[in-house]
Amino acid sequence: MLTQKQKDLLLLIHTRLGQDGVAPSFDEMREQLGLKSKSGIHRLISALVERGYLQRLPHRARALEVTRLPENHTADKKSSAKSTSVFSSPKYDSIPLFGRIAAGTPIEAIRHEGQSLDLPPGMLGKGDHYALEVDGDSMIKAGIHDGDMVIIKRCDNAEDGAIVVALVEGEDVTLKRIKRVKNKVHLIPENDCYQTRILDSDQVDIQGRLVSLMRTYH
């Protein structure tokens, strides 16, 4: 038997999947259930997964799927059928999933062939995008942590201050904030333990700019 909070959360997720095709954020769940912290939501979700009411989906934002509802749930058949059809096969935007961004490896070389990342509709703007898994903590003060998935829009130029994927001298790929000073390119980390790299402009090729970020909570 589910607790009232577990039931409330399950039905909230069920409703939002039916309406939007994507689960609510952890902050939305916390606010709707009147909890003070997201840790309570993590515990409720873990309990629902263990009891077979929820399933976590890999490589998807807000990656939850309702597998069954409480036995005493009495939603009308028409509404229930509509919700089930939406969340059992939601429409996602799929982009290529590359590996962990690592020095010494051109970006195309770390692509996982056949693997992709599914994102909620409307999350991407125009253009070509791909996903990268962050390796390391050099951008932690910008809110980018080790293991995060960053969504990158392909481009060969970006304004000063943008966070970009830069290919240095044809070999070294890095995620850094960019700034130009005269004919030099500064690749700036967001961690005081790392130093800014200052390079000639012809040593740096921009391969994309950061447009979004996803984090999985365990």
Catalytic (active-site) positions: 138, 176
Here the tokens at position 169 are 């001298």
Residue keyed to tokens 């130093």: 195
Residue-wise DSSP of 183-209: TEEEEE-SSTTSPPEEEEGGGEEEEEE
DSSP 107: G
Residue-wise DSSP of 15-56: HHHHHHSSPPPHHHHHHHHT-SSHHHHHHHHHHHHHTTSEEE
